Amino acid sequence: MEKLSGYIENVIYHNEQNNFTVMELDCGGNLVTVTGSFPTLNPGEYITVKGAWSEHPSFGVQLKAHSFKVEIPETVAGMEKYLASGLITGIGEKKARLLVERFKEDVLDIIRYNPDRLTEVEGIGKKTASMISESFNEHREVMDIIMFLGEYGISSSMAMRVYKVYRDNTISVIKENPYKLIRDVPGIGFKLADEIAMSMGVEQFSPFRVMAGIKHMLQSCYNDGNMYMEEEELVYKSASVLDISEDLAYDNVEDLVLQGDIKLETIEDKRVYYTIPLFKAEESVAEMTVRISRHRYENEIINVDKIISSYERQNDIELDEAQKNAVKAAVENGVVIITGGPGTGKTTIIKCILEIFQQLDYDIALAAPTGRAAKRMSEATGFEAKTIHRMLEFGYSENEAEQTFDKNEENPLEYDVVIVDEASMIDILLMNHLLKAIRLGTRLILVGDINQLPSVGPGNVLKDIIDSNQVSLVVLNKIFRQAQESMIVVNAHKINNGEMPMVNDKEKDFYFINCNTGEKVRKTILDICTHRLKNYNGYDFFEDIQVVTPMKKGAAGINELNKLLQLNLNPPSPDKEERTFMSTVYREGDKVMQIKNNYNIEWLDLNTQEEGQGVFNGDIGIIKKINQQGKNATVIFDDDKQVIYSFEQMDELILSYAITVHKSQGSEFKVVVMPVFQGPRMLLNRNLLYTAITRGKELVVLVGHRTYLKAMIENINTVMRKTGLRDRIRAHAIMED
Ligand SMILES: Nc1ncnc2c1ncn2[C@@H]1O[C@H](COP(=O)(O)OP(=O)(O)OP(=O)(O)O)[C@@H](O)[C@H]1O
């Protein structure tokens, strides 16, 4: 085994996916080629590598590195080279020289431990001094973490992600409990965390490992939207993932219950287990739902009928009985749910309710679960609507590990009325935060469409609250005249009733193109998006059309469709910069979607030059520029907000030529194109088809085979979620009576 130390002279090749690197190392004047797995390193850094010599047929003698260590340079010349390498924010070649001249071999210690002294150098003020010191320390920390995790086979890009979560606590958190990584770091599953734990000496049958495995298994019910897991399933699955006996798994499940780490409940005579956060949320939503719904409201003496009549006159419509009841229920009750399909007048009613409460001079807040839904609500009502998160003043705790809501039971929302649209998308955790922030006396009006897909997160909250029969409910069934002219609306209701849609009527807005192979489906979708819709009505792919699909994988899944559409609608070109991230190519001109709520990222409104913060899950935009040197990408969202993503933040974006139906929830598009083709039965269901087509405003085009269309309409059994909310609300109601 050879051991060499030297300065990196040049990084010839670096693959960000697998870290394979070829570099030249200056070892006391000799240039040596070194290959191996390295994180992103920069010329000027001083490293020690251990490895073996090999002879490459074309490149000659090289050192194949097995391990490496990033060293702090020891000579003054080395320190200057290191500081001048551009690694440390605030130091270029000139400042590196001045710093070394002033502090000699103490320069790095001074940067690290005594940054105030840096101001002794000309051109360095207090601010620059602390920036230099912070950047230096962060770099050292990151390198330590990359090396520490590298020993367990974790790539440097994954290590960077771990660092982003835990910062300078990374090593201590992992040493204390490597299983925490599963919950906190996207991309790390039980298997990887378990490997790290085992190689740190955790034993196969130790309660620590077994309990971590069981908790992980129980958490996995989040992914299916379930609130709990039945005993048999939990024991069986835990035993198999941990490779232990079911008896041992069962004993540990019992211990976890005794320790208060998981909750045992009996539902329909079955023993079931909840994670503590989900149990608490369900219990608290049940209790608060009953409390709010039982509260007596002091109604101002107003004549609702009179206001409705004047609204009807002004808007030249006549509300039907159910609509009038909805308006009255909203005025009279503490909490009311208004549900109905497209075109049944939900927006019309929200506007009428707004009018009434405005006349009473009430403080009103409008909110929706996603940014796009909030934007639509604002446009439709002329009132500002926020995301629920923003309304509740969402943030992160100091160490960024926990989500916090500044609006809560101690500091409730100070509105008289809160109206929430797209309420079917609210999961149990968000509903818990929302209800906590509603003080007694504030009316809560939940508007939604119960036939859409339930929330992505756990629970089937709106449906459970409705089914509990404890909350005032208005169901809107009638489709109104204008809406009747749209086959999208008519077909949505047909599908909901289990009937086949009517398609391909001339002059209408609902088409079905028959294709019987996956290849034909793909080719047809491509043809529609590149030519046919443009010729049909001048529709522009990037402005007007959205491909939605049930699946991620397979011929008609987002992965394949994104590749195909990207290649044809935004092909590679020497004029367009690209960057590959997690094996996806991102190119200037690409259509992308933000996939998590980021409340801190800054935007600039290109129309008004106004600046602000926050990009939300589901926001869609175009990559305008990729700046390789600045390591960032500029995205312009469809509301003309410009956002700059550092390369590290690009895991918040996915290509969005095609998106899943789940991601399309809460958004609307002029044209929706959807493959109706084979896929997992679980995904081919009625709610999903209904949700997809109701995203289309002007035109829906389905591409595929009628067998699958029929199968989707008939498949209504897949959205049964395991939840206890309905019965829990009923139990609380009985206690209150
Ligand atoms: N009572 C009514 N009489 C006549 N037209 C009505 C009535 N109620 C609603 N409409 C009209 O029906 C159409 C659909 O109404 P609205 O947009 O309120 O429904 P929605 O449930 O919000 O639909 P979507 O979910 O598709 O947005 C609108 O053009 C509206 O003006």
| Residue 120 Cβ < 6 Å to ligand 1 | no
Mark whether 328 and 450 lie in a shared domain.
Answer: yes
Instruction: Identify the DSSP state of 308.
Output: H
- Per-residue confidence (pLDDT) for residue 377, from 0 to 100: 94
Residue at 217 is within a domain: yes
- Burial pattern 466-491, b for ≥16 Cβ within 10 A else e, equals bbbebbbbbebebbbeebeebbbbbb
Instruction: Provide DSSP, 228-277.
Output: -EEHHHHHHHHHHHHT--HHHHHHHHHHHHHTTSEEEEEETTEEEEEEHH
Residues of the domain holding 546: 499-714
Clarify whether residues 270 and 341 are in a common domain.
Answer: no
Model pLDDT, residue 336? 93
Domain co-membership, 299 together with 273:
no
Last residue of a domain, one of 277, 311, 333: 277
Binding-site positions for ATP read 343-347
Rg (CA), the chain: 30
Cβ(345) – ligand 1 distance below 6 Å? yes
- CATH code for the domain in which residue 430 is found: 3.40.50.300
Domain-embedded: residue 735: no
- With contact defined as beta carbons under 8 Å apart, do 483 and 320 qualify? no
48 in contact with ligand 1, CB cutoff 6 A: no
The percentage of residues in the chain with a pLDDT greater than 70, rounded to a whole number, is 97
Residues 208, 236: one domain?
Answer: yes
pLDDT reported for residue 399: 56
Cα 74 to Cα 68: distance, rounded to the nearest angstrom: 17
Residue 493 lies in a domain: no
Residues 140 and 221 both lie in one domain: no
Asked whether the beta carbons of 36 and 66 are under 8 A apart, the reply is: yes
User: Is residue 720 a part of any domain in this protein?
Assistant: no
- 736 in a structural domain: no
Domain limit, last residue, from 227, 247, 277: 277
| Sequential DSSP letters for 34-99 | EEEE--S--TT-EEEEEEEEEEETTTEEEEEEEEEEEEPP-SHHHHHHHHHTS-STT--HHHHHHH
What atom in ligand 1 is closest to the CA of residue 350?
18
Question: Which of 320, 477, 480, 668 maximizes ligand 1 atoms within 8 Å of its Cβ, making it the mutation to test the pocket?
Answer: 480
524 and 669 inside one domain: yes
**CA-based end-to-end distance of the chain:** 79
Do 259 and 286 share a domain, yes or no? Answer: no
Q: What is the number of structural domains in the chain?
A: 4
If we measure between CA atoms, which residue out of 467, 468, 464 comes closest to residue 455?
Answer: 464
Q: With beta carbons less than 8 A apart as the criterion, state whether 458 and 429 touch.
A: yes
Tell how far the Cα of 694 is from the centroid of ligand 1, in angstroms: 14
Digit-coded pLDDT (tens) for 334-381: 899 999 998 899 999 999 999 888 888 999 999 999 888 898 899 999
Quote the pLDDT of residue 614: 82
Chain segment 709-722, per-residue pLDDT in tens: 999 999 986 567 89
Residue 355 lies in a domain: yes
Give the residue whose CA is nearest to atom 12 of ligand 1. Answer: 480
What pLDDT, on the 0 to 100 scale, is given for residue 194?
92
In this prediction, the residues of the chain whose per-residue pLDDT falls under 50 are: none
| 65 and 195 assigned to the same domain | no
User: Do 303 and 421 belong to one domain?
Assistant: yes
Instruction: Report the pLDDT value the prediction gives residue 507, as an integer from 0 to 100.
Output: 67
Q: How far is the CA of 352 from the centre of ligand 1 (A)?
A: 12
265 lies in the same domain as 294:
no
85 CB within 6 A, ligand 1: no
Q: From the CA of 480, how far away is ligand 1's center (Å)?
A: 6
178 within domain boundaries: no
Of 709, 735, 410, 677, nearest in space to 554 by CA = 677
Determine whether the shortest distance from the Cβ of 483 to ligand 1 is under 6 A: yes
Task: Please give the model's pTM, rounded to 2 decimal places.
Answer: 0.80
Ligand 1 pocket, residue 340 CB under 6 Å: yes
pLDDT of residue 37: 81
pLDDT at 276: 95
Cα–chain center distance at 320:
40
Query: Ligand 1 within 6 A of 501 CB?
Result: no
Task: Report the atom number in ligand 1 closest to the C-alpha of 344.
Answer: 21
Q: Please report, for residues 229, 259, 319, 638, the alpha-carbon distance to residue 271 in angstroms, rounded to integers and kept in the order given.
A: 9, 18, 48, 49
Q: Is 323 in the pocket of ligand 1 (CB under 6 A)?
A: yes
Annotated binding site: 343-347
The answer to whether ipTM exceeds 0.90 is yes
Q: Residue 225 belongs to a domain with what CATH number? A: 1.10.10.2220
What are residue 604's DSSP bridge partners?
Answer: 611, 642
Residue 669 confidence (pLDDT): 94
Indicate whether 169 belongs to any domain: no
pLDDT in tens, 507-520: 679 999 999 899 99
Domain boundary among 235, 262, 277: 277
